[in-house]
Amino acid sequence: MSQVVRKVLPLPLHSLVLFTVWLLLNSSADVSTITVAVFLALFIPILLSPFCVPLTPIKKPMAAVVYLFKLLLDIIVSCIQVSIQVMSPVSKLNPGFIKIPLDMSDEFPITVLSSSISLTPGTVSVDVSMDKQFLYVHVLHMDDEAALVAHIKRRYETPLKEIFQC
């Protein structure tokens, strides 16, 4: 029985979200809207399930919550710093690219690291090397490349390694 359910609902949470979002977008619960919602909730996950890669599970959820609050604080502080830099003369900016060596190889934690960096104003993740050894980041202002790399590794990568135990 479980095998049949798994084939019909390979991604049950996705099916639930699709069904709910479709009903909310249409602001209706008539028969045709519900029929389309059921169709989408069943067939889109079936079509997409072969492409889904299992995510690395979060091993320490409380550490993840702490990380999210630290990231939010960093985003606010960076917004203020970038605003000050942008309003000052352009000659004070020293943009550049940095190459950050990665100590983790799982795709999902690397994606979270990359997203965290890109969410913080003044930095944008550009690429991950094919061998997942390096993350390339563009920074708006760089005084000391080694210090910036150390800061990113200490502030973002180390907590993510703890959260995902990778």
Residues 10-52: tens digit of each pLDDT: 888 889 999 999 999 999 889 999 999 999 999 999 998 888 8
Residue 74: its pLDDT value, please?
96
Q: What integer is the mean pLDDT of 106-119?
A: 95
Are the CB atoms for 15 and 41 separated by under 8 Å?
yes
- Over 100-129, what HEC string results? EECCCCCHHHHHHHHHHHHHCCCEEEEEEC
b/e code 44-57 from CB counts within 10 Å (16+ = b) = ebeeeeeeeeeebe
Q: What's the predicted TM-score (pTM) here?
A: 0.76
Work out whether the CA dihedral 122, 156, 107, 98 comes out positive or negative: positive
Burial of residue 157 (number of CB atoms within 10 Å: 0-12, 13-18, 19+): buried
Percentage with pLDDT > 70 across the chain: 98
pLDDT at 1 over 60: no
Residue 90's pLDDT is 67
pLDDT for res 34: 95
Average pLDDT over residues 47-72: 91
